[in-house]
Amino acid sequence: MNVVSMIVQAGIIAKAVLLILLFFSLMSWTLIFMKVRMFRRGQQESARFLQIFRSAKNLYTTFEESKRFTRSPIATVFKEGYRELSHMVKGNPAPGNPGSIAHEPRATAPEMTIHSEPLELMSRTLRHASMKEIAQQERNLIFLATTGNVTPFIGLFGTVWGIMDAFASIGQAGSANLGAVAPGISEALITTAAGLGAAIPAVIAYNYFVNRIKRQVTEMELFGLELLALAERILARSR
């Protein structure tokens, strides 16, 4: 007896459980592929943006180039920080022609204490932009966590129900030999296997994506410190 025939011969409850598990599995794999693509593109664009940022002669050029990197969290954080810095230097919230906001020589390991109000405001702006990016990346991850936690129990429910149905059939037939018990139990155990098959990839993917998000948080924080150090020197020069 193969798996297909056991599924066909399964009861209505078991088939309903398998359909539910199939839905969770298909949605999980769709979300996994979407997230993998999003993280890969974001990482590639962030790497290219950082090259431009560290080689450009002024921040206006970097800002114009950053518009091309729509998938990069670091580029998004930079754009928000640049707009705030432009407002501080020019008194204009829209960066009209801030070509004078040039790169200052950048320390390799900037150490700074933010005391001034403008830098505190910019720091809050960068944190706000980072939090928005993290919230966007965490979107729908709860579905993977839910799939990993719930589907084994859904499969177990189908198994318990199938075993109850098998023993009820045995009682009605009045036969308790192995040949009568085995087919019903094997059909019931399919739902447990299906539940684990839906849960395991979801749990692995969820842990992987959470780790990737943590790394991106660190990268955005380090970039924010680098941009704040640069902004401090620009503001000191403008005064």
What is the SS3 assignment for 53-111?
A: HHHCCEHHHHHHHHCCCCCCHHHHHHHHHHHHHHHHHHCCCCCCCCCCCECCCCCCCCC
Of all residues in the chain, what percent carry a pLDDT higher than 90?
A: 45
User: What's the rounded Cα separation, in Å, for the pair 233 and 239?
Assistant: 10
Neighbouring CB atoms inside 10 A of 193's CB total 13
In a domain, 95, yes or no: yes
pLDDT at 103: 53
Burial class (CB in 10 A: 0-12, 13-18, 19+), 191: buried
In a domain, 154, yes or no: yes
Q: For the segment 188-222, what is each residue's pLDDT rounded down to a tens digit?
A: 788 889 999 999 999 999 999 999 999 999 999 99
Question: Containing domain of residue 66, as a range?
Answer: 6-238
Give the chain's mean pLDDT.
81
Higher-pLDDT residue of 45 and 56 is 45
pTM comes to 0.78
pLDDT at 84 over 90: no
Nearest residue to 151 via CA among 99, 197, 183, 115: 197
The angle formed by the CA atoms of residues 166, 169 and 174, to the nearest 5 degrees, is 125
In a domain, 138, yes or no: yes
**At how many degrees (to 10) do helices 12-55 and 141-173 cross?**
160
Q: What's the total number of domains in the chain?
A: 1
In a domain, 1, yes or no: no
Of all residues in the chain, what percent carry a pLDDT higher than 70?
A: 77
Nearest residue to 219 via CA among 33, 74, 108, 99: 74
Task: Give the range among 18-22, 113-117, 176-180 with minimum mean pLDDT.
Answer: 113-117
pLDDT at 124 over 50: yes
